[in-house]
Amino acid sequence: MMLEILTSDMLQPLAHGFFTRRGGASSGVFAGLNCGYGSSDQNDIVRINRDRAADALEIAPEALVGVEQIHSAEVVTVHGDRGEDLPRADAMVTREPGRALAILTADCMPVLLADAEAGVVGAAHAGWRGARAGVIEATIDAMVELGARRKEISAAIGPCISQSAYEVGPDMMDEIVGDDFEYTQFFAQGDGDRVHFDLAGYGLQRLRDAGIGAAEWLRHCTYSDERRFFSYRRSVHRREADYGRLISVIRA
């Protein structure tokens, strides 16, 4: 099966893609393009999947850069040679031609950003904790430090869990609304004291409040579309032992 790559017109002409699970070598609960070494999938199979993704974007596998994601606001500036140890962070920026930034997700937001004219790109992993901590704003700030112009930065949020599938407790709502009462708009009433959180809407608001030129969500739900996407929350509800990780990539 061919790999499926979702793209955003806002990030053109830079090579980029939000990959679905289609076209990979993994099997079982990882069936398809599982690109996460942190999963219990076989490392050799994960490497094959990552190489396929790199090849699809005409990127050398060794040019694909990632981080050990920790749900933080930490951003790494990528330049020069990198060692084998992955830094603990949730976002990367670079202006080094040919370098490709890769984020892994399975319900959280993969956010790809670019000032194409300045040649500066960024990639962020943003769940609600990382987004609340400021990973989106920190990524934009780091891009500006590399020469990007804030108003010329475009951003796209790839497949993530949608509001209808994201039921959370009142404590989480209290934390987010405590930051800004206007964030109540991203919550809808669920059963009992449960509420449904619009993660993508929250991410878009933070992108726009950061003053960039344009932002969009591709409007794909990881939870509800099992044929195309991995989902951590779906795996928990099914009591599966593990889950695959989707890869999103942008090349400078």
**Where are the domains positioned within the chain?**
5-162+198-251
Mean pLDDT score, 115-127: 97
pLDDT recorded at residue 238? 96
pLDDT recorded at residue 32? 97
Mean pLDDT score, 137-143: 98
Q: 5-162+198-251 in CATH: which number? A: 3.60.140.10
Cβ contact 125:113 at 8 Å: no
What is the C-alpha separation between 19 and 81, in angstroms, rounded? 26
pLDDT recorded at residue 86? 78
Cβ contact 73:129 at 8 Å: no
Which among 35, 31, 1, 30 is positioned nearest to 18, based on CA atoms? 35
CB atoms within 10 A of CB 80: 6
The pLDDT > 70 percentage for the chain reads: 98
pLDDT recorded at residue 250? 98
Alpha carbon distances (Å) from 120 to 148, 198, 217 = 6, 29, 20
Question: What residues contact 169, with CB distance under 8 A and at least 6 apart?
Answer: 193, 194, 195
Helix (H, G, I), strand (E, B) or coil at 129: helix
Predicted confidence band of residue 79 (pLDDT cuts 50, 70, 90): confident
What is the C-alpha separation between 13 and 175, in angstroms, rounded? 39
Give me the sign of the Cα torsion angle 217, 223, 227, 232.
positive
Quick check: 72 pLDDT over 90? yes
Mean pLDDT score, 39-50: 96
Quick check: 40 pLDDT over 70? yes
Which among 107, 141, 143, 151 is positioned nearest to 125, based on CA atoms? 107
pLDDT recorded at residue 110? 98
DSSP string covering 232-247, please?
HHHHHHTT-S----EE
pLDDT recorded at residue 81? 62
Summary mean pLDDT of the chain:
96
Quick check: 82 pLDDT over 70? no
Model pTM above 0.75: yes
